[in-house]
Structure 1
């Protein structure tokens, strides 16, 4: 079952994740679902996708992971020259 809007996401997703993370969840879930994964497997993949860009604090809040450093470019993928 694909989700067309963020409002259709499960309540656990909507209540826990900020909007940007919800968008990641929706896109990942829909992609996995269209690839034939079960609802449970698509949900697990979607949560894993969220966790690549967001982390949960000890207080339960999901915040963007800030990656990079002095040797990273603005894209975060290649060393700065």
Structure 2
């Protein structure tokens, strides 16, 4: 199920990611969910893709997610 707003994201996402990372997660999830409409496990696929998208811009520092250093 696509997420209309960050408040609709699962608690495991909302409670751990900063707002911008939640935006990235939600956009990636919604896009992947639509793109994999014919897949039987599309929700699981969409969650994996969304986490991968977040990890491109954020890293975990202890128990917090922080923006990663810009790539050269």
> Same fold by TM-score, threshold 0.5 exceeded?
yes
Extract structure 1 runs of 4+ deviating beyond 2 A. none
- Which structure has the larger Rg over C-alpha atoms? 1
Cα distance, 1:66 vs structure 2: 1.6
Q: What is the root-mean-square deviation of aligned Cα atoms in Å?
A: 1.1
Pick the structure with more helix per residue.
2
TM value normalised by structure 1: 0.79
Give ranges in structure 1 of 5+ residues lacking alignment: 73-81
User: Residue by residue, what CA displacement relative to the aligned partner does 1:29-73 show, whole Å, maximum 9, x if unpaired?
Assistant: 00000102510110000000000000001x2100001224xxx5x
Larger relative contact order (C-alpha < 8 A, sep ≥ 6)? 2
Aligned length: 68
Q: TM-score, normalised by structure 2?
A: 0.89
